[in-house]
Amino acid sequence: MFMLALAALFVVAGAMPAAAITQGTPDGKTHPMVGQLFFHVPDDPDPRFTTPGAWYSCTGTLIAPNVVLTAGHCTFAIGKGGTSTLPDGRGGTDVWITFEELPNLDELLAPSLSFNGDNAARYAAWSKALNGDRTWLRGTAQAHPNYDERSFYMADVGVVVLDKSLKKAKVAQLPEAGYLDRVLADKNDDKLFTPVGYGVQSMVPFYDPGGTRQWSTSKLIDLRGTHGIPAGTVAKFSNNLGKNHTGGACSGDSGGPLFKQGSFLIGAITSYGISPCIGNDGAYRIDKELDLGWIRSFVR
């Protein structure tokens, strides 16, 4: 029996076990527009604390000097100054991103256990540290208007609008409407894509959190829907040790791009995987006119 798993990474030890794509290659400066998101959800429980408040990690891509594209479940219910944004769940400001290949969270943030169960003190200390570090940029999170946690895969896209504009930064390209349909139909296209992210590198036979931005090679398999999810929203990509498509995405890679191989064109974003991050990956299609219109509304 498979288990669908959102590809966000819950912070469970120390600052965080940040990471790498499965079977990945260290990115270096190949995809400088891809960054690691770190955010606080005040309504979610953390087993080490008696009061709610949890921290998560995702991946995002700069598509404009001040706009980061990511998954809807990486932008929903994020806090605003430590307070809840529910029931709407949008407009949270407790979200930061770094474009460093090797994030410094383990050095920057005091371990969770050092707060002796005081979750409010952890939020105060961690948010202050992130705000004071030049490599981390704060922003405002917006999940797609149709995003619903109960059926996240139907509109799993979101953006983070940065407080500071990175005017000289490289940015990724958005696809044209129907792009993936054309790729899949083209018999001369190799259908290879490059997932990039900061997620876990391996869950079996050993857990390997990695520690840098990495990339691998996946193949677009189909667009018919998968694991009970209807067609039109999800794209299925390989996550295996194939000869010409090796690796895939895992926890922490949510929201990360799947670039058409050899380009900075985003075909889809990582949404979920099959535990323990083998077999196939589910990516959310952003090549739909309505979604593209919503995303572009943030690009000025």
Token code pair at residue 124:
């105060």
CATH number of 9-16+32-162: 2.40.10.10
Residue 151 scores a pLDDT above 80 = yes
Band of residue 25 on the pLDDT scale cut at 50, 70, 90 = confident
d(CA 293, CA 54): 32
- Say yes or no: do domains 9-16+32-162 and 179-288 share a fold: yes
9 or 62, which is more confident: 62
Q: Which of 50, 10, 71, 72 is nearest to 252 (CA)?
A: 10
Residue 3 scores a pLDDT above 50 = no
The DSSP-derived string for 68-114 is EEE-GGGTTT--BTTB--TTTT-----EEEE--SS--HHHHS--GGG
Band of residue 300 on the pLDDT scale cut at 50, 70, 90 = confident
Find the mean pLDDT for residues 127-154. Answer: 96
Q: Convert the pLDDT of each residue in 59-98 to its tens digit.
A: 999 999 999 999 999 999 999 999 999 999 999 999 999 9
Q: Convert the pLDDT of each residue in 189-230 to its tens digit.
A: 999 999 999 876 555 445 455 568 989 888 999 998 776 788
Q: Convert the pLDDT of each residue in 243-270 to its tens digit.
A: 566 766 676 788 999 999 999 999 999 9
Residue 15 scores a pLDDT above 50 = no
CATH number of 179-288: 2.40.10.10
Taking the domains of the chain in order of start, what are their residue ranges?
A: 9-16+32-162, 179-288
Find the mean pLDDT for residues 41-58. Answer: 95
Q: Which 8-state DSSP code applies to residue 173?
A: B
What pLDDT is attached to residue 208?
Answer: 53
